[in-house]
Amino acid sequence: MATPSSLLSFFSFILTISSLTIHTLSSSTDSFVFGGCTQQKYAPNSPYQSNLDSLLTSLVNSAAYSSYNNFTVIDSSPQDVVYGLFQCRGDLSMPDCATCVARAVTQVGSLCPATCGGAVQMQGCFIKYDNASFLGVEDKNVVMKKCGPSVAFDSEAEIMGRRDAVMAGLMNAGGPFREGGAGEVQGLAQCVGDLSLGQCQDCLSEAIGRLKNNCGTAAYGDMYLGKCYARYYIGGDHYYSNGHNDHKSGKGGDKIFAIIIGLLAGVALLIIFFTFIRKAFEGNGK
Ligand SMILES: *[C@@H]1O[C@H](CO)[C@@H](O)[C@H](O)[C@H]1NC(C)=O
Ligand SMILES: *[C@@H]1O[C@H](CO)[C@@H](O)[C@H](O)[C@H]1NC(C)=O
């Protein structure tokens, strides 16, 4: 027969499960950030479609051993040539990179049905393809920007000074992937690997300038341009736990949902527990 203490341990087991769920939901690198498609479409079962399929397969396969690669599927008819690339965030392991690119390919398939070109940015990777070559071409158009709420810090000027210093540090660091931090400020920047170092510097300079102008004293900022992005986050959580990105992909909703389910399960168990206690006492009274 179930004793109150075994019921209690079942209760804490349920709570553990819901907190594990919350942790998993908030640490995903392959959640969707943005996507876009060209207007032109290709005909179903056309040579272009089969070239695109082989390009997307190459992206996924290549992401198992490289964090960046570009592909051109050549064809005897020039209008059927497809260009594409993927870029994983520089700190992702190869298995995570491959998983992310596979997710991005799935996303672009549902987002851009039969369009000649498409692009998807996930938290951990970026993919793009088109029938016009864009490889090695810098693109500083703003694709997506997001600023957190302005936070009234006790020492706002000091913290914003640190934010600016972290961003300057990212500018001075070399390579396509850059991260840095000072105190509670974390910064991250990434160029797509087809840019030269000079193009990457130029793109990041634009992204960081816009980030500071647009986001002012916001608690976090994300600035995604066509071929690079810069982000910062002020707070205690580690940057990549994505605490501040939850609402972007609806994970905040999932989190609240998981908490509510956890609470409901707890309440239900408490009711069962007290019913059990009452039954036990009634049983004793008889
Ligand atoms: C891309 O495909 C569209 C639709 O077939 C076509 O109009 C356009 O000219 C193509 N662009 C290039 C560069 O081939
Ligand atoms: C594309 O890939 C080829 C071979 O993998 C490489 O030599 C070339 O530099 C790349 N081009 C760009 C623009 O990244």
The rounded distance, in Å, linking the Cα atoms of 99 and 60 is 8
What superfamily does domain 158-245 belong to in CATH? Gnk2 domain, C-X8-C-X2-C motif (3.30.430.20)
Ligand 2 pocket residues where CB is under 6 Å: 70, 135-136, 194
Tell me the CA–centroid distance for residue 144 and ligand 2, in Å. Answer: 26
- Ligand 2 atom at minimum distance from 194 CA: 14
| Cβ of residue 40 lying under 6 Å from some atom of ligand 1 | yes
Tell me the CA–centroid distance for residue 43 and ligand 1, in Å. Answer: 12
Boundaries of every domain in the chain: 1-28+252-286, 29-130, 158-245
The closest of 78, 129, 140 to 107, measured between CA atoms, is 129
pLDDT per residue over 164-214, tens digit each? 999 999 999 989 999 999 988 999 999 999 999 999 999 999 999 999 999
Tell me the CA–centroid distance for residue 70 and ligand 2, in Å. Answer: 6
- The residue assigned the tokens 């009234």 is 152
Structure tokens at 88: 């994983």
What superfamily does domain 29-130 belong to in CATH? Gnk2 domain, C-X8-C-X2-C motif (3.30.430.20)
The closest of 198, 269, 243, 192 to 22, measured between CA atoms, is 243
pLDDT at 184: 87
pLDDT at 42: 96
pLDDT tens for the 286 residues of the chain, in order: 444 444 444 444 444 333 333 323 234 677 899 999 999 999 999 999 999 999 999 999 999 999 999 999 999 999 899 999 999 999 999 999 999 999 999 999 999 999 999 999 999 999 999 999 999 999 999 999 999 988 776 778 888 999 999 999 999 998 999 999 998 899 999 999 999 999 999 999 999 999 999 999 999 999 999 999 999 998 854 333 333 443 333 334 444 455 555 666 667 777 766 776 677 766 654 4
The backbone torsions φ and ψ at residue 123, rounded to the nearest 5 degrees and listed phi first, read -55, -40
| Cβ of residue 88 lying under 6 Å from some atom of ligand 1 | no
- Ligand 1 atom at minimum distance from 78 CA: 14
